[in-house]
Amino acid sequence: MFSENQKISERQMARLLIFDMCGISTLLLPGLLGKMLGTDGVFAILLGAVPVYLFTFLPELLQEKRKNSNTRNGSNTSNISNIGKSYPEILKKQGNGFIRIFVLVVYTVEGILLAGYGLFLLSDLMVSELLKDSSFVLAAVLLMLLCGYGIWQGIEGRARVYEILFWFVFLPLILMLLLATKDVNTIYWTPVMVHSWGNFVKGTAAVVLLYGTMAFVLFLQPYLAENVRVGRTCRKSLCVTVIFNAAIYLITLGIFGSGMLPKMKYPAITLMSMIKLPGGFFERQDAFMVAIWFFTIYAFINTGMFYASDLLKAVWQKEGHQKADGKNEAIQGKADAKSIEKLIIPIVMVLTFAVTLLFYRLPEWKIMFIWIQAIAFLPLTVILPLCIGEISKCREKG
């Protein structure tokens, strides 16, 4: 029997992260890096993982700061887990002031933007690869409703599904990549280090941004089972994602070449449709392989919508006072607070769909979205959490 405590295990967390990062990055990076860097793209994939890898130590750093602070203040170390060592708990210490509300709103907007872009990408993939000549808007509406249903099921329900689907999705992908290696021409991998530093920096930034959902790991702590090693799990998931991205890039580059690769919309999809399975098991092999990216990008959308709704809900919640025994004493909020909370998921769904339509009707906004991500990524993921952690520590000392 499964538990119903809305807690996920370390293995489920790892598979959620791999689904979130692998789908969108393996779909977009071959075309993006092929256009910007050609044969040097694989180096951008490897180098772009470095800052994300360093970021995975941030949850541990914030926890360590809290432990040290509580120990210096004479707190009982056996109750550290109840004092507040995660980023959400640090934010709760800020009360309902400007800092807490600002952070929650900023991350909510980030989640909606990511979900909207993911929904645009998945809808475009469905229309261009499977349901040709179908309505983009209709596909987006149906997918949005499906994603909304996934959010209603909670994070534990989604984690169970992804845990079951993991090998059904990635084993066929691994098999297809192995079959594709026989057609790789390694001459297409050379020459290397022939592009400008400017293009190399842009390519590396694109890699970092496509791992953007890692930023929400800071808010995952309340949903994790006890003794989950957050940083280690993030690093393992990142390494798996980098291996898949590097393999797919080298294989697509080795088959299509640096001249053809930038002209393709989705090189990975094109590659999968070209590979012939022994025995011809599938008449619609392309549909089967698109399903890989359907599930992974669907997970990416769900992640953005889940955190957006969860954080927006936190904006409307008043924090309780803490009793001497460590339990929270509820404060009566506004009369309509709970009714507003019930509308949060539909509101997030509508906003996500609006962002998707914006990208569809005005393609130039996709460039602006990338710039917003580039400008906001470092402050959101590193500087802001560290500053809030220091502010919380200083308030405790005061």
> Each residue of 64-119: pLDDT tens digit?
655 555 445 544 443 333 334 567 777 776 655 777 788 888 888 888 988 999 99
Mean pLDDT of 22-36: 89
Q: Find residue 8's DSSP bridge partners.
A: 224
Tokens representing residue 89 in the block: 């708990």
Q: CA 275, 26, 111, 382: dihedral to nearest 10 degrees?
A: 170
Band of pLDDT at residue 254, cut at 50, 70 and 90? very high
Q: Pick the range with the lowest mean pLDDT from 202-216, 247-261, 299-313, 368-382.
A: 368-382
pLDDT, position 135: 86
Rounded to whole angstroms, the Cα distance separating 172 from 168 reads 7
pLDDT, position 341: 62
Q: Find residue 224's DSSP bridge partners.
A: 8
Return the CA Rg of the chain. Answer: 22
Helix (H, G, I), strand (E, B) or coil at 56: coil
Q: What is the DSSP letter of 184?
A: -
pLDDT at 63 over 70: no
pLDDT, position 323: 41
In tens, the pLDDT along 145-192 reads 988 888 887 788 888 888 888 888 888 888 888 988 888 988 989 888
* Residue given tokens 């769900």 in the structure block: 302
Band of pLDDT at residue 335, cut at 50, 70 and 90? very low
Q: Tell me how far CA of residue 228 lies from CA of 224, 354, 396, in angstroms.
A: 7, 36, 27
Tally the C-alpha atoms within 13 A of residue 255's C-alpha that lie toward its C-beta: 21
Question: What pTM did the predictor assign?
Answer: 0.82
Alpha helices of the chain — where are they, by DSSP H?
10-36, 41-55, 58-72, 80-83, 87-92, 98-125, 136-152, 154-180, 197-210, 230-260, 267-274, 285-316, 337-342, 344-361, 364-378, 384-397
